[in-house]
Structures are given as structure tokens and as C-alpha cells.
Amino acid sequence: MPMTMTQKILADHASLASVEAGQLIEAQVDLVLGNDVTAPVAIREFEKIGVAEVFDQRRIALVPDHFAPNKDIKSAEQCKIMRDFARNREIEHYFEIGRMGIEHALLPEQGLVLPGELVIGADSHTCTYGAVGAFSTGIGSTDMAAAMAAGTAWFKVPGAIRFVLNGALGGWACGKDLILSVIGAIGVDGALYRSMEFDGPGVATLSMDERFTIANMAIEAGAKNGIFAVDARTRAWAASVSARSYREYAADSDAEYERTIAIDLTSIRPQIAFPHLPSNARPAAGAERTPIDQVVIGSCTNGRIEDLRAAAFLLKGRSVAPGIRCIVIPATQQIYRQAVREGLVDAFIEAGAVVSTPTCGPCLGGHMGILADGERAVATTNRNFVGRMGHPGSEVYLASPATAAACALAGCIVDPGEIAPAPPRGYFETTAKA
């Protein structure tokens, strides 16, 4: 039976010759993830099961990132539950302050996710790891508890939508603009419980950081997962983070897709998703010059080194507009150190921005940048629902790091091309200068 890339991974992990959309299967998992919001619930449920040990201490990752560094007593107690469980159960991959980062940037960086693997996490943006050709998806805390005990999880095999990418992004357009454009076109339920599978010649032009961004936001279209075909870039990335072996999967040439959508990457322009849905996307050029109060550059979507380089490129030698709060949050300690070495942190501070330790922070209305009633923020995060970043009367506008930096400088919504011409394609993959 012809299968999509996702279906092949699920079939193999369920020890089945083939699977089809809608089929219920029990599959072995390669990694189980939890954070300081979801893992404490899973830990309490795990202890109710009554098993002596987790299924494999090497295949569980616990990352306190949402409210860490602890913002209050409750968050401190949540993290302590994780810390004690990791110590008592000898969990190998527990990332405390000083080693931690935003989970969906940290795990790939640590080589804990590789092509062909099946990863589940009690966080909806676990779909991020599809960037490397893995099947990864979010689950509930009770499912996490069961998986920590048994090493398996139940799935309904998703159907798939194929996105064929042609050409290459140009100007200031980047991966964030591509996925915002896609969500704007198909809607927040346009891929409901489907696999968004990206292939075509245009994939080779996307950096790994861009692929992480795109896969991360598959859930914002309602998808079960997003996944990229494995190519030379993927293999080079995998070799750089881990010596572990892995298996590549590719969709059959006659695999069945519910839809096939061709995208000309040359047509993508910098986007802004207006409140209160990620699908409310439109080109930044020509959009209303809406005044803003805050800019947040970071998150599991756009806190990687290329994101910081793009923001610093625009901010260096310029000043954040009066009255604008600009908050930059590197996604991991390693990214933070790299940003320091390259002079990016100096560029941010000299422009009038502040730089935070790695944390999810304001993305989910946690800390480090909560909005008051009536305030507006441009953010490189992934959601802009009512009250997402603070008061229900506040507004969040989603954008790329370049667009967010441009808005910080202008004090309102603008296209980054209004601030400076874009450097050549690929510049932020290799440059070591702000």
C-alpha cells in the first residue's frame, strides 16, 4: 500500500507493514517530552499507575522552560516536582537552569531528535521536530504518563496534505513568512488532524532554522504534524548534533494526499498576522501602520541564531523607537553564547532592547513581558489569541524577527524593507557579525 512519509514512520514504529488514514495503532516512541506546565500533571498520573520505573531513563526529556527561571512560588513548586522526579527516577535528560532552553530549540540542539524518529510531547508545538524528518506531535499529560511507563502511545493515523515548494524566498521573506502565508491561505483548521508534508525543489533553499519555524507552526493550521523530506541539509545538521544512527523515510511516489498545494516561494512577502488568529495574515507592506507598545523576539518559533542575526542586522546602529519595549530572548544557552560572541547582544542593548535568559516567558502570558489592557505587541511567537500575552484587552501581531525588529524601530507596523535593503539569501546562515 502506498504511504506518505508520516504513515511510513508510524507503520514502522507500530511493527506493521502498512497503515492508512484513520487507522488506530499503538506505536513505540523514541522520546517522551514534558515541560514545567504539563510534566507535573503527568508525573502525578504516572505515580498513580504504580509502576516501579519509567520505560527508559534515556528516552524521557524534562525541560522547565515556560515559567523558568521561576517567576513565583507556584512555578517554583512545579519545577521542584520535575526535579525530584528526574532525580528519583534517574532521568538522563533533565535540563535545569544553566543548561535549559526553550524545549523545542533545545532538544534538536542536543541531538535528542533525529530523522525517522517518533517523538511525543505534552506540548502542542512538539510538531517542531518534523523539520528534521521525524514524526512528532503534541499529546496530553495523561498520555505522557502512560508513555513514560510503557514506551508506547496510541495514534489515529492522519491523512496528509502535500505542499510542493518551488523557487526560493527572496528579500526579507523567511520561513516565518512562508508559514504565516500558508496558514492565512488555508485557515487555522485547514489541515485539521492532517500531516502537512513539505517537499519539492524549494525545500533545499530553506535553512534548518527556517524548517524548524515552519514545522513548529503546523499546529496553528490544526495539523497533527508537519514534516519535511530529508535532504543533504538535514543529514549535515544531524551529523553536527549527534553520532547516533537513524533511518530516513520518504513518501511513496504514488502516496495518497487529500490535497496538493504548490507554492511559489518567490511570491512570499514579509507577513503580519493581525489579532486574534494566526490565519489573519497579510503582507506587512501596505498594512495599517498600527502603533505598538512592545516587541518580543524569541520563542520556540523564532529564537534561534539566524533569527537573532536578522534582528540584530536591522537594530545595529539604530535605536528602538521612544516608548517601545523591545525584548530579545535567545532560545537556548548555546544560542545565547553564540549571540554574545558575534556581538549580537551588544547590538540589541545599544539599540535600547533588553536580552533575557532563555525562557518561553511572555509567549503564553507567563512573565518577562506581559501586556496590559489596550497594549499591542509585535511578536515572533506562534499564537495571537485573545489574552495570549497578557490582558484580554491586549493585542498580539505575529511576525518574523526581521519584521519585528523593523516595527521596534518604527514604533508601528512596517515592512522591514522600509528600514533597510535585505542582504543576500542565506546571509544569516553563515555570518558571524551583527
Where does a domain end: 244, 264, 284? 264
Grid cell 525588529 is found at 405
| 351-377 pLDDT per residue, tens | 999 999 999 988 888 889 999 999 999
Instruction: Report how far residue 152's alpha carbon sits from residue 145's, in angstroms, rounded to the nearest whole number.
Output: 10
| 146-178 pLDDT per residue, tens | 999 999 999 999 999 999 999 999 999 999 999
| 18-37 pLDDT per residue, tens | 999 999 999 999 999 999 99
Same domain, 260 and 280: no
Which CATH number is 339's domain given? 3.30.499.10
pTM of the model: 0.94
Q: Looking at the predicted structure, is the pLDDT value of residue 431 above 70?
A: no
DSSP secondary structure of 233-261? HHHHHHHHH-----------TT---SEEE
Evaluate whether 34 touches 119 at the Cβ level (below 8 Å). no
Evaluate whether 392 touches 372 at the Cβ level (below 8 Å). no
Confidence category of residue 219, pLDDT binned at 50, 70, 90 = very high
| 224-255 pLDDT per residue, tens | 999 999 999 999 999 999 999 999 999 999 99
| 49-67 pLDDT per residue, tens | 988 899 999 999 999 999 9
User: How many Å from the N-terminal Cα to the C-terminal Cα in the chain?
Assistant: 51
pLDDT attached to residue 99: 87
| Residue type at position 349 | I
Grid cell 506540548 is found at 123
Residues β-bridged to residue 26: 154
Same domain, 240 and 292: no
Where does a domain end: 201, 235, 264? 264
Instruction: Report how far residue 148's alpha carbon sits from residue 331's, in angstroms, rounded to the nearest whole number.
Output: 26
pLDDT attached to residue 433: 46
Evaluate whether 249 touches 11 at the Cβ level (below 8 Å). no
Same domain, 228 and 350: no
Same domain, 135 and 24: yes
| 280-294 pLDDT per residue, tens | 999 999 888 999 999
Same domain, 236 and 319: no
Same domain, 339 and 259: no
Domain boundaries, position 192: 5-264
Instruction: Report how far residue 326's alpha carbon sits from residue 66's, in angstroms, rounded to the nearest whole number.
Output: 20
Number of domains in the chain: 2
pLDDT attached to residue 97: 85
Same domain, 174 and 287: no
pLDDT attached to residue 364: 86
Same domain, 247 and 331: no
Q: Looking at the predicted structure, is the pLDDT value of residue 430 above 90?
A: no
Same domain, 184 and 50: yes
Could you give the 3-state DSSP secondary structure of residue 48?
Answer: helix
pLDDT attached to residue 365: 87
Where does a domain end: 264, 288, 310? 264
Evaluate whether 280 touches 287 at the Cβ level (below 8 Å). no
pLDDT attached to residue 198: 97
Q: Looking at the predicted structure, is the pLDDT value of residue 310 above 70?
A: yes
Same domain, 147 and 27: yes
Mean local confidence (pLDDT), 390-419 = 97
For the chain, give the percent of residues with pLDDT over 70.
Answer: 99
Same domain, 233 and 304: no
Q: What sections of 89-174 are H helices per DSSP?
A: 103-109, 141-150
Q: Looking at the predicted structure, is the pLDDT value of residue 434 above 50?
A: no
Cα torsion through 309, 313, 319, 322, rounded to 10:
-60
pLDDT attached to residue 52: 84
Instruction: Report how far residue 371's alpha carbon sits from residue 360's, in angstroms, rounded to the nearest whole number.
Output: 15
Provide the grid cell at 160: 496528509
Same domain, 329 and 402: yes
Could you give the 3-state DSSP secondary structure of residue 291?
Answer: strand
Beta strand 225-228 pairing with 259-264: unpaired
Residues β-bridged to residue 111: none
Could you give the 3-state DSSP secondary structure of residue 135?
Answer: strand
